[in-house]
Structure formats: structure tokens, C-alpha cells
Chain A
Amino acid sequence: MYAYDEIDRAIVHERVDEFRDQVRRRLNGELTEDEFKPLRLMNGVYLQLHAYMFRVAIPYGTLSSEQLRKLAHVARTYDRGYGHFTTRQNIQFNWIALADLPDALAELAEVGIHAMQTSGNCTRNVTADQWAGVAPGEIEDPRVWAEILRQHTALHPEFSFLPRKFKFAITASDHDRAAIKIHDIGLKLVRNDAGETGFEVLVGGGLGRSPFIGRTIKSFVKGHDILSYIEAILRVYNQYGRRDNIYKARIKILVHELGIEKFAAEVEQAWSEIADGPLTLDDEMIEDIRSRFIYPAYEKLPAEPDELRAAAGDARFEAWRGNSVAPHRQDGYAIVTLSLKPAGGPPGDATAEQMDAVADLADKYSFGEIRVGHEQNLVLPHVAKRDLPALWAALDKLGLATPNVGLVSDIIACPGLDYCSLANARSIPIAQELSRRFANPETAALIGRLHINISGCINACGHHHVGHIGILGVEKNGEEFYQITIGGRADEGAELGVLIGPAVPYGEVADVIEDIVEAYLSLRQRPDELFVDAVKRLGVEPFKERVYATR
């Protein structure tokens, strides 16, 4: 966990006071909506179909139990008793009244939570691998660098009025769980031949209307230089990014239009003017940030405790352990993913009661720490293996032990037309139907790793382009239709999915997905050939044929 200092706390509280005054002036008519809108957006407040939506930042996906309890409190007190975890590691409340927002923000500020960098044309919440700091084989904890980035970019005047929003993601593992290649800037911690720590910097990734996979702009930037290098990228973007056309305003368009080589040359020129200047990080600064992360005092524990052996006879426990428990860098400990994807449930939603209970379980079993992953699940990052049976029993009672992590029913979905004013079609009911159809754990295990991503419009909050199966809702003559892509992936081998054919109506989506999965099962070479690998080998044709032959 990162402990805020006095300056951080002062900024958060001052922001609440400022927003309280802005809300007061809006409600009494001193501010018009046109004047107020950019101010509310800077505090994570959107207006959706039925109500205001309040998006709260969870920097690099790390929460303390105290913070999660406060989110539960806000859900219960100011909203309708639940929250929605997003693909940007944020949480959204869907029903909050404008007049209540300052009080909700003030309560969150008590535990160091805020809504800055959750909206607007600024640098957004920095996201990270949800296993940061605990994943085996990691170079180092990337959250230290995410926090450095957060501190540098938050409220930075040069980055507060960019041509368009700007998103960072960071990882320190070879296996990319943070989807860094679909972010404006993706950072991967690496070591060079001299043993120095630095970053591979990727730029120009993004989804939406014009999807692009990020390109490596520089294969190694020393850690001490990362702020100046990023500043150089943002300066080039700020100067040349399109402000005349919202659809062409993201950095991915600039990189695409200039070409990565020319863009990189512009960045090198800008960097040459600021490198080795005040933005250079010295060891003391880095260590100061690092020292504010509080790490657990792990015990020395056996790798295979008696408690695990005793529980091995319970098939349900074993199914969950095999699916939701991952190796930890510390012997005797494990990383546990809590699925927020129960059969028939809205992906990523958690009730206030569940949040409170998870906070209690985090205190009891995970040193009071919780993570949020971009797949819209929660993680307890430091669980002693001896506690796994007891933790599972508690999670099972809460409905948080569905053993489907990474499987076909672990669906990423945006709120869609049920909530969102931008959406053209519903996402959640599609996800619910699919999760019911693939609810049988044996069937899901047989299918293996398969990511379905659903977006209710081209803005792609559900990351449909990079789903192994992507589902995009569109509107045709007043009806909901869905385009299906296959072969996308968001990890280190990120690729955009390929459209298989004409959009299908709402009522046929689940049947089509079942057809695609059945085709895969009959076409795969071996049981361990993943769906996405089978698509790579076979192309879309066999799947297209299966789907459209009878339609």
C-alpha cells in the first residue's frame, strides 16, 4: 500500500472544497451547465441515461481494506448499494445525486480516495498489473513508477488540456496483465545488458473508433529519465495532436499519420531540450516514493501446508484453487482472484455488503490489501496458502468464488445501453446470457482460456477489439445488432480481432457465440490449443462458415 503524505492529503481535501463550491453555484444557477460540465468531468461526474455517474479513481488498482469499506459506505449511503469496477481499474456509482457528490467525495477523501484523472482531456488514472509487487519473476514493483507518474501528471497544467484523454498502463512482467499495448503510453519495466532498470516505452495504442496496437518508440529508457521522456512525448502530442476533430484527437492517430519513425524523431528532438534537466529523477526521489509503499511482513511458511492437503478432497475447493489461485513470489503465499462474474450477474458489479466482506477478508487473510484488475475482478494479493480453504469457504458464501477466472464466462463488459448515454446497444444482458450458457464449470474448463469482451458502442470501453471473441453493439434501424470479431488479444501478443461477418440481432448473439465455441472444440488440434491460437492457425473462415451457413 502507498501512504499519502501531507501534500497529497491537502490536495485531495482542497479539491473537495473546490468542487463543493462549484456544485453549490451550479445548483443555484450561478454556473450554467456549459460552464459546469468541464468542472464536474474533472471530478469524475458524468451524466448518463438515468442519473449522474460518479467515477472514482483507484490508482494502479490498489486499495486498502479501509478504502474498500469507504467505497461500500458511499455505495450504500449515496447510491443504490453497489458499484461497478471498470476496465480502467476505477469504480463507478450509477445513481448518485449532484447535491450528494461533495459529501461523497469528502468521505472518500478521508481515506485518500478521489476522482481526479477519471475524466476529461487529461492524463487519466495510471493503471498497472493487478499482480504488481507479488508476481513471480517481476523486475520490480511497477506501482512505484506508476505513483511517480501519478504525482507528476496529476493536475499538471500542461497535461490538463490535452487534445484528448491520455492513458498510461504499466507492467513489470513478461506476461502482460495490464494491456499496455492498447494504451496511449504503455510501459514495461526491463533491465538492459548492464543490469540497469528502465522501460520499454510503447506509444499510440488504443481502441475506440480507430483501434491501434501500441508500437515500441524506444526499447530502453533509464528509470531516471522516464519523466523527461514521457514529457517529451506529451509535448509532441500537445503540439501536433488534432484538436479540430474529436475522432482524430488521440495520440494513436498522430502516431499513425506521422509514422512511428517520424513521431519518434519529434520526441527525440523534444527530449533533447529537456533531458538531464529538472525532470531527471534521482535515487533519493525514487527511494522516497518506494519507501511510502508498505509491504507485508511475510512469515516463513511451507509451500504445501497441511490445510491444503486436508482440503484436497473437496472437488469444489480444488476447482476454485486450480482456477483462481496463482503463484506468489513469496513461498507459502498465493495470489487469489475473486471473480465478479457469477453466472447471470452483471460483470464487475459488487454490492456494498460484498465490498465490506472482502475488506474484512483482506484484513484477515491479505494484510489488508485488495487489487482491482482491468478484467473487472478483485484480487487478494497476499494470501497464506494455509488460509486458502477458509478463504474459499468465506468467498463461496459471498458469491465470490465462481471458478471461472480467465474462462469463457469471465466476460469483460461495459455498462452498455442500460446505463450509458453513448451506447447504441446493451452489453450486460448479453454477458448475463452467455455466462448462464457457459455456467457449467466442466464445460468451461474443457473450453479453456477464452476471453469474451463486449462493448455497447464503438468507444470500446469493453475492449471488444482485443477479446478472443469481441462483441460490439450497433444500432440498425432502431434495433440492436452485434458485430462479432475473433482472434483479438490484449496481452504481450496483442492483436485486434477480425470481423467474421454481418452483425447479428440481439436474440441470436448467444447462439452465435455457442456456434463459434463449438467450432473451436471440433477444430482444435489438441485440448491445450487455446481458442485464440486456433483462430491464428485457421483464420476466421471456418468460424464464419459455422456461424453463417445456417443463418
Chain B
Amino acid sequence: MTSPLQQKIKITGPSVVTANRTTDGVVIYRTATNGWSTDLADAAIVREAEPARALLAAATADDVGAVGAYIAPVEIGADGAVAPGNLREKIRRDGVTIALPVRA
């Protein structure tokens, strides 16, 4: 399988790097301080291919902590709030759109 770093990176707007946490698969976002956060608001925002590639490279290097890092689009609101850029990422951030059979 082609490494995400070998793939052509195309950025059309603000983006973040996201992955799943190795221990439990929880959705995580790469931060500007070379760490991970479960909160999208903490994610490092990139807007061009080269910074995106660098952020992805750092994320991918953490093979123990995270699985399957990739670049995902986000939207920045007028108030600066970061929101997922598509439905898939919205579901990853917010969880399933249905009521679970057993309430948490």
C-alpha cells in the first residue's frame, strides 16, 4: 500500500491531520506541539501542501500512538471555531448519527 507521504497532497482549504488512537481507536487530531488531542479545536491547521506534508510526516512517525494518519478538510467559522469539512469527518468527531441501542 502506498504510504500517505508518497501520495500527492492536494489542499483546497484549511485542513488538519487526523488518525485513530492505537490503544482504543478513538479519533485524534495532530496538534501544533507535536502531540495528539481528541478535540478538533486543538488541531494544527494547515492551508498549503508543504506544511500539510510536514504535519502528516510527523504524525505518521508516531506509529505507536496513532493509526492511519491522513489529511482532512475543516471549515473555520467567523468566530474562528474549527468544524469538520465533510460528513465523514463530522461523524468521526461527533459520533454516530443514530441513537445507540444502549445508552451510555
Contact = CB atoms under 8 A, between A and B. Distances in A.
Contacts of A349: 101
Interface string B23-44: 1111100000000000000000
Interface residues of B, number: 25
A51 B24 CA distance: 6
Contacts of A429: 97-98
A320 interface: no
A248 interface: no
A49 interface: yes
B87 interface: yes
Given A27-B22, A418-B96, A428-B98, A33 B68 contact: yes
B67 interface: yes
Contact of A82 (B1, B87, B88, B101): B101
Contacts of B26: 50-51
Contacts of B96: 50, 418-419, 428
Contacts of A352: 102
B23 A97 contact: yes
Interface in A417-449: 417-419, 426, 428-429, 432
B43 to A, nearest CB: 17
B95 interface: yes
Interface string B72-104: 000000000000001110011001111011101
Nearest to A428: B98
B20 A82 contact: no
B63 interface: yes
A479 B95 CA distance: 18
A346 B102 CA distance: 12
Contacts of B104: 80
Interface string A64-93: 000000000000000011100000000000
B95 A50 contact: yes
B19 to A, nearest CB: 10
Nearest to A79: B102
Interface in A374-408: none
B20 A32 contact: no
A49 B68 contact: no
B23 A432 contact: no
Nearest to A419: B96
Nearest to B1: A34
Contact of B64 (A29, A351, A480): A29
A48 interface: yes
Interface of B: 1, 20, 22-27, 63-64, 67-68, 86-88, 91-92, 95-98, 100-102, 104
Contacts of B27: 49-50
Contacts of B87: 417, 478-480
Nearest to B20: A47
Contacts of B92: 49-50
A418 B101 contact: no
Interface residues of A, number: 35
Interface in A87-113: 97-99
Contacts, number: 77
Interface of A: 26-29, 32-34, 47-52, 80-82, 97-99, 345-346, 349-352, 417-419, 426, 428-429, 432, 478-480
14 contacts: A27-B22, A27-B23, A28-B64, A29-B64, A50-B27, A50-B95, A99-B24, A345-B101, A350-B101, A417-B91, A419-B96, A428-B96, A429-B98, A480-B87
A418 B91 CA distance: 7
B23 to A, nearest CB: 6
B67 A47 contact: yes
Contacts of A350: 101
A221 B63 CA distance: 50
Contacts of B97: 418, 426, 429
Please provide the 9 A-B residue pairs with the shortest distance between their CB atoms, ordered closest to farther.
A81-B102, A51-B25, A97-B24, A418-B96, A82-B101, A29-B64, A52-B25, A349-B101, A32-B63
B102 A417 contact: no
B77 to A, nearest CB: 17
Nearest to A480: B87
Nearest to A415: B96
Q: Which of B22, B86, B97 counts the most chain A CB atoms within 10 A?
A: B22
Given A27-B23, A51-B20, 8 more contacts: A49-B27, A51-B26, A52-B25, A97-B24, A350-B101, A428-B96, A478-B86, A478-B87
A128 to B, nearest CB: 27
A82 B100 contact: yes
Contact of A346 (B1, B63, B88, B98): B98
A98 B23 contact: yes
Contacts of A34: 1
Contact of A47 (B25, B64, B100, B102): B25
A350 B100 CA distance: 11
Contacts of B24: 51-52, 97-99
B22 A33 contact: yes
A99 B67 contact: no
Nearest to B101: A82
A99 B26 CA distance: 13
Nearest to B25: A51
Contacts of A351: 101-102
Nearest to A99: B23
